[in-house]
Structure 1
Amino acid sequence: MDLRHLKYFLAVAETRNFTQAAANCYVAQSALSQQIARLEKEAGAQLFSRTSRSVRLTAAGELLEPLARRILADVDNAQAALDALAGLQRGRLRLGLMQTRASSFDLVEVMAEYHSRHPGIDFHVVNAPSFEMAAAVLSGALDLAVVGLGPRQVPEGLDHRILAGDPLVLIVPADHALADRDVVHLADLPESHQLIQFTTGTGLRRQVEAAFARAGARALRLADDAAVHNVCAVYDSKRLAPAAAAFLDVMERHAAKGQGESY
């Protein structure tokens, strides 16, 4: 089974469109269609159900999709392992990174140090909701991701390491009725009070919603010690490429340094 066939197959599976998949793979649509047909012949089953209006995976295609992702991820990891023999002088690191500007953990410093140590490693960075990036690590599409999930929210099959935990806070004007309190419950806010809503599916949005649920109302109890925005690295230790392991090591050292400075 040709790896190129699997790449073309996944391109069609992701776009549900042969024309777009061909463009993404920089090949003619006719060439891509021929390669898919050869893959279907080898597999002994039709992988896509095609009509004039849609392209859908068949049962065989749905079975092959996660396996194909794993196979291609293993090939990337094998190349990364060979690169490691040369002291990580070249290679690629596929990262999922949440936005951490509001966090005590500084990813910019981590990436700067890593690049200075391993300038030959190219970054391929993706930013998406935390659960999407964790799923991408699980499927092998990403080597490692930094997400806003707590330990109990990490998908089964992944390892995790907490890098930082930042308590959620309420920000109000100096003349606000609650400004003189040390501990505030959002349940004390008027029902008409507007709150900033984070993007649905992000780790921070889920932490806020979980805190609302613990408060037993549609208000966040900031006195709740569990109302914390976690910054967590998720990875599959069984498939961790050397470049990703080195990046994880740099993150852990920065996390330990930040925790030490907080005391």
Structure 2
Amino acid sequence: MLKYFLAVAETRSFTQAAAGCYVAQSALSQQIARLEKDVGAQLFSRTSRSMRLTAAGELLEPLARRILADVDNAQAALDALAGLRRGRLRLGLVQMLASAVDMAEVLADYHARHPGIEFHVVNTPSPEMVAAVLAGDLDVAVVGLGPRQVPEGLDHRLLDSDPLVLVVPRDHVLAGRDVVGLAELPDSHQLIQFTQGTGLRRQVEAAFARAGVEAGRYFEVGQVVDMIGLAVRGVGVTVVPSTSVFRASSPLTATPEGHLPHGARVVRLADEAAVHHVSVVYDSKRLAPAAAAFLNGKSRISEACRSIRAVASG
């Protein structure tokens, strides 16, 4: 019944919900009516033109999501008795080029160890993925946020802190510099920014705030590789994680001296606090076996966590 309730809550339509659940509309309506009788309250306010959740429905919605997530976790725990041969991992994943951790290698390694686990991977802004973990819609999320940016109620482990760098076209006034402050950017610069609300966007905006200057005019795109490519071709300047240009697997790889195609340059920032944090977040109170294996087993994500802890303690 809860599954049908959530389907109606999401679509605001009995017809669409029934189609999405592959049941007859009459059967779905009967289940909703039964649920309303069981809880002793009307869950939907219906008119000829619209449908919305009542106060009781709004209260039930997040609880229903958590209950269904717990049911999935219970089934996964039973599956784990058979050696984690099957199950599902619902994973939120920061854009790979924006992460210092090679997530493609992490996922390939996990799949090799647990080939029966079904992956469901989503990529949305980091705050949205964190909210999905809180709601029970995701098991684990690798996000572009630091420990202080993770809300209460979630566990987290820092995977990496990647310095931010400035990418400028070859004819830019700062192209010959090794280190710059963001306050040195000309007032006329155009900044190529990452999507609003993402972890990387927040960290770049925080760096400009520390420099005491406005980010200025910006050109917004949703792929880090496009940010770099546009800067290389002279559209503007951009601030990105250093590994997105220096990692060998990057589509646009800089030389150790900071040279990019078309004569563009990578310049270090004087602000030592300008870093792109990457963390893994989860709820240890409701951790499915597939997610626990991803975090704690012999996986590259757990190796990254141990490596960060070793550096911090050293």
Common fold, TM-score beyond 0.5? Answer: yes
Counterpart amino acid of 1:246? Answer: A
Instruction: Give the share of equivalent positions with the same residue, in percent.
Output: 79
2:276 corresponds, among 202, 211, 229, to 229
Instruction: State whether structure 2 residue 21 is matched by structure 1 residue 25.
Output: yes
Question: Given residue 253 of structure 1, which amino acid in structure 2 is its aligned partner?
Answer: E
Q: Give distance in 1, aligned partners of 2:13 and 2:270.
A: 50
Shift of 1:192: 2.0
1:72 counterpart (56, 68, 85): 68
3-state DSSP of counterpart to 2:52: strand
Task: Please name the residue that 1:239 is paired with.
Answer: 286
C-alpha separation in 1, matches of 2:25 and 2:193: 42
SS of the counterpart of 1:181? coil
Q: Which runs of 5+ in 1 are unaligned?
A: none
- Select which of 163, 166, 171 maps to 1:170: 166
Distance 2:121 2:98 in 1: 19
Matching residue of 2:243: none
- 1:105-120 residue pairs with structure 2 within 5 A? 105-120=101-116
Deviations, residues 106-134 of structure 1 (Å, cap 9, x unaligned): 11111111111111110011111111111
Under a length normalisation based on structure 2, what TM-score does the superposition of the two structures give?
A: 0.77
Shift in alpha-carbon separation, 1:109–1:227, aligned structure 2, 3 A: same
Equivalent residue letter for 1:87: G
Three-state SS of the structure 1 residue aligned to 2:280 is strand
Provide the secondary structure at the position in 1 that maps to 2:169: coil
For 1:197 and 1:17, how far apart are their aligned partners in 2? 38
Matched residue, 1:145: 141
Matched, 1:83 2:79: yes
Contact 1:105 1:258 in 2 (8 A): no
Select 1:13's aligned residue among 9, 12, 19: 9
Which segment is superposed worse, 24-33 or 138-147?
24-33
- Indicate whether 1:252 and 2:296 are aligned: no
1:254 is displaced (CA, Å) by 4.1
How many residues align? The count is 257
C-alpha distance in 2, partners of 1:154/1:258? Answer: 18
**2-side partners of 1:129 and 1:52: how far apart?**
36
1:181 equivalenced with 2:177 (yes/no): yes
Return the TM-score normalized by structure 1: 0.91
Give the stretch that moved more between structures: 59-68 or 97-106. 97-106
Deviation (angstroms), 1:196: 1.1
Counterpart contact for 1:110–1:254, Cα < 8 Å: no
1:146-195 deviation line (CA, Å, top 9, x unaligned): 11111111111001011112111110123421122222122222222111
* Cα distance, 1:16 vs structure 2: 2.2
Matched ranges for 1:190-201 at <5 A: 190-201=186-197
The 8 Å contact of residues 143 and 199 in structure 2, kept in 1 or not, is answered as: yes
Say yes or no: does 1:52 pair with 2:63.
no
Q: Structure 2: 5+ residue runs without aligned partners?
A: 216-238, 240-267
